[in-house]
Amino acid sequence: MKKILELTVGWLYPDLMSTYGDRGNVIVLSKRSEWRSIPLSVIPISFETSRKDLLSCNLVLGGGAQDREQELVANDLRLNKGKTLKEMFTRGIPGLFVCGSPQLLGKYYMTGDGKKLLGLGIFQFVTKHFGHDKPRCIGNTAGKVVGIPLSEIGKRETIVGFENHGGRTYLGQNDKPFAQVLKGYGNNGEDGYEGAVYKNVIACYYHGPFLSKNPHIADWLLTKALEIKYGKIQTLTPLNDRLEWKAHMLMLSRLEAYKDI
Amino acid sequence: MVLHLLTTYFSLALIFFGKLTIQLLTIFGIGAGGTWPGEIALRGNPHILSFFLRRVRSGIVLVAGTNGKTTTSKLIQRIVAESNRGNTDRMTIVHNETGANLMNGLISAFIREWRIQKPYDFAVLEVDEASLPHVVAEMQAYKGKVVLVLLNLFRDQLDRYGEVRMIARIWKESIKKLPSQTVFVVNADDPELVDVTHGKKNKYFGIKDPSSYLKKGEHATDSTYCPFCGQKLTYEGIYSSHLGIWRCQKCGNTRPKLTLSAYPSVLPGLYNRYNTLAAVLTAQILGINKNQIKNALENFSPAFGRGEGLIVEGKRVKIFLAKNPAGFNATVRTVLELGAKNIVFLLNDRVPDGRDVSWIWDVDFEMIPDAVMCIASGDRAYDLGLRIKYTHKSRSGISNLKIFETTKEAIVFGLKQMKQHETLYIVPTYSAMLEARKILTGQAIL
């Protein structure tokens, strides 16, 4: 008998960390799962969420926060959720952290006002904001995935999206970059890297609806979540992604990033 | 003294040059000179706005907020004009009616209305969120009546404006510079604005209507935390996004008492209820009588692209500008209430629209019933199409989504789709609105 599959996604602090379209990733994952008849439930992770509930998540998502919220979240995350999340991610539970949330996973984040927020230490990277008068890294962006085996993402190696961040992130020695920047700023506008990958956790500066134009990454996250939960290699039913790839390719050609591929 | 005279002559030269620019732009059909004359004058004299403001005899009304500026300022302009009806001496009201609301747009409006030897009577100006501090700084010496209307504050173009709270912080600081006679007309349903204007000479408007409470909160919500103490706010009811009957359980701050809470709305939709209230309250503060207000509103036609109706090839078309999640949700709700069967959504990502289109994922497209045809186009037609695709319940989708790479194709398809008695609704971002109007009317506006 075919096993009935289902997934639970934990969405970190949706009312504090959902600044600009971050819900997009949640919607894309939910739909792509449901369209394959795999019911997916989303549970909001808040200050009150218990360790037990957090452990019930097969995938964890984080988005961007405004400055004040970022501080509230950073504290709760580090003091009350950090240990559990680290255990989960080390076990291979996949995660996607976009917009400002990667800043919370590194060693620390130095805010624009010079305040040092300690991170979870899942990654070794540090993030520094050099002041509100410094230009932000804003614009459409494209990258070439280097942190995930290409065979696991259908040999489609590009990603596209939008970035808007004041902080600059510098990878530590053991951090594996997620992508090489084809167009845009990436982590810091200097070293040509975008984001980082730890086991099955992706952290990157792309904005919330990142997965909408990158269905290969969405399916990779779902596949990993199912694998960790059900313990065997899962193949997802293919979907008609004509529209997704059309939007993806159009952005690549608009950025003239395709020449670099 | 000599310096003063020199500055005055220099300003006059800039005005003359600006007027010439307007003439040339109009003659050659490039546009109506909404920003260029002002831009040139501004480069010649960065403080030219205060030169103009000093010449406004009776009063200045500034309208600020994320959504509703153009409609509200047009309403106020019409009421002020009506209050002068019957007088032989025409009143000069400076008004940036095309929605050009940066410094250069405001100055262009002053140049357009400039008459030698004749001061201005009134200025009714909508002001961009980020430009408000600069405009306020030019007003310090002003002696006439001043009303600052604050409509709402929503997340809008984070790449351009930054976070809502940052705008609020900047406003709070900058409005301290307004002359002491300034009256603040404030939307009491928006907690952030109540904090911004705390301790000022305030008149509040808001809605008292439990039947308009949303059944379910919208996703795109800012300021649900108390701006005074940071506690999560409780709401007796929410009208849209974070607008509603709010209260803080911790510090006790609550929606203030309203001066005006009901007036027949001139246009459909929740925002226009707020816009009407704001305009009427402003008119009352300016001392304009009831009948004049009523007459002006009875004959009101919407500002371009803001619920504006057009007849194209015998078919009815209505354009509702929508440029951020809160406004978009309210607009979609309005056109659905009006019985829309075909909606053309146009998403551009040029500078006036905001380069980042991520916000469409904060819009609740899920509220659109399957029977309504969604036609997506604009620079980011596929992003919009994807957003709508991800509202579908089954992977095979439904046939209520059509995507066109050009705005023209989308509009033509929309017009073909509709039956005789129906209306085609167009919901565009700012630059897409100008484009759609140009296609529909064959004429440029800006």
All residue ranges of chain A with pLDDT < 50 are: 1, 260-261
Q: How many other β-carbons are positioned within 10 Å of the β-carbon of residue A220?
A: 23
Which ipTM did the prediction report? 0.95
Mark yes or no for CB contact A162/B356 under 8 Å: yes
- CB contacts of A19 in chain B (<8 Å) are 155, 158, 163
CA A196, A197, A203, A204 dihedral sign is positive
Give, for B306, the enclosing helix (H) or strand (E).
strand B306-312
A248 catalytic? Reply is: no
Max Cα–Cα distance, chain B, nearest Å: 77
Please report the residues numbered 344 through 373 in chain B whose beta carbons come closer than 8 angstroms to any beta carbon of chain A: 355-362
Q: How many other β-carbons are positioned within 10 Å of the β-carbon of residue B328?
A: 24
Mark yes or no for CB contact B158/A208 under 8 Å: no
How many CB pairs below 8 A link A and B? 83
- CB contacts of A31 in chain B (<8 Å) are 390, 392
DSSP state of B303: P
Q: How many other β-carbons are positioned within 10 Å of the β-carbon of residue B169?
A: 15
A57 catalytic? Reply is: no
Mark yes or no for CB contact A21/B358 under 8 Å: yes
B395 inside 8 A of chain A by CB: yes
User: Which among B355, B361, B382 has the least Cβ separation from residue A246?
Assistant: B382
How many angstroms away from the CA of B217 is the closest CA of chain A?
12
- Predicted local confidence at residue B158, as pLDDT: 59
How many angstroms away from the CA of B295 is the closest CA of chain A?
42
φ and ψ of B341, to 5 deg: -110, -25
Q: Which two tokens stand for residue A236?
A: 């997802």
- CB contacts of B386 in chain A (<8 Å) are 212-213, 243-244, 247
Alpha-carbon Rg for chain A, nearest whole angstrom, is: 17
B224 inside 8 A of chain A by CB: yes
Q: What is the 3-state secondary structure (H, E, C) of chain A?
A: CCCCCCEEEEEECCCCCCCCCCHHHHHHHHHHHHCCCCCEEEEEECCCCCHHHHHCCCEEEECCCCHHHHHHHHHHHHHHHHHHHHHHHHHCCCEEECCCHHHHCCCEEECCCCCEEECCCCCCCEEEECCCCCCCEEEEEEEEECCCCHHHHCCCCEEEEEEEECEEEECCCCCEEEEEEEECCCCCCCCCEEEEEECCEEECCECHHHHHHCHHHHHHHHHHHHHHHHCCCCCCCCCCCHHHHHHHHHHHHHCCCHHHC
Query: What is the edge-to-edge ordering of all strands in the sheet holding A59-62?
Result: A40-45, A7-12, A59-62, A95-97, A201-203, A193-198, A176-183, A137-145, A158-165
DSSP state of B176: G
Distance CA A206, CA A208 (A): 7
Residue of chain A whose alpha carbon sits nearest to that of B360: A21
Distance CA B6, CA B1 (A): 9
Mark yes or no for CB contact A243/B355 under 8 Å: no
Pairing of strands B183-187, B202-205: parallel
**What residues pair up with A9 in beta bridges, in sequence order?**
A42, A59
Q: Which two tokens stand for residue B379?
A: 């620079």
Mark yes or no for CB contact B403/A243 under 8 Å: yes
B159 inside 8 A of chain A by CB: yes
List of residues 6+ apart from B239 with CB closer than 8 A: B189, B207, B209, B212, B213, B214, B270
- Predicted local confidence at residue B20, as pLDDT: 76
Mark yes or no for CB contact A246/B387 under 8 Å: no
pLDDT 10s digits, B252-307: 999 999 999 999 998 888 999 999 999 999 999 999 999 999 999 998 988 888 89
State how far Cα B136 lies from the chain centre: 18
List of residues 6+ apart from A247 with CB closer than 8 A: A212, A213, B382, B383, B385, B386
Max Cα–Cα distance, chain A, nearest Å: 62
How many angstroms away from the CA of B358 is the closest CA of chain A?
5
Q: Which class for B268: exposed (0-12), middle (13-18), buried (19 or more C-beta within 10 A)?
A: middle
Taking the model in full, what pTM does it have? 0.87
pLDDT 10s digits, A225-247: 999 999 877 789 999 999 999 99
List of residues 6+ apart from A146 with CB closer than 8 A: A177, A178, A179, A180
Distance CA B279, CA B149 (A): 8
Residue type, A242: R
List of residues 6+ apart from A193 with CB closer than 8 A: A171, A177, A178, A179, A180, A181, A186, A187
- Predicted local confidence at residue B232, as pLDDT: 86
Q: Which one from A57, A129, A165, A207 is the annotated catalytic residue?
A: A207
* Domains defined along chain B, listed by start: 2-298 (3.40.1190.10), 306-441 (3.90.190.20)
B146, B117 Cβ separation under 8 angstroms: no
All residue ranges of chain B with pLDDT < 70 are: 1-3, 24-33, 157-162, 217-223, 443-446
Distance CA B353, CA B106 (A): 20
- CB contacts of A138 in chain B (<8 Å) are 159, 355-356
Task: State the architecture of A7-233+241-260 in CATH terms.
Answer: 3-Layer(aba) Sandwich (3.40)
- Predicted local confidence at residue B220, as pLDDT: 57
DSSP string covering B341-367? SEEEEE---SGGG-S--GGGGGS-GGG
Mark yes or no for CB contact A213/B403 under 8 Å: no
- Predicted local confidence at residue A30, as pLDDT: 97
- Predicted local confidence at residue A260, as pLDDT: 47
B228 inside 8 A of chain A by CB: no
Mark yes or no for CB contact B361/A140 under 8 Å: no
- CB contacts of A134 in chain B (<8 Å) are none
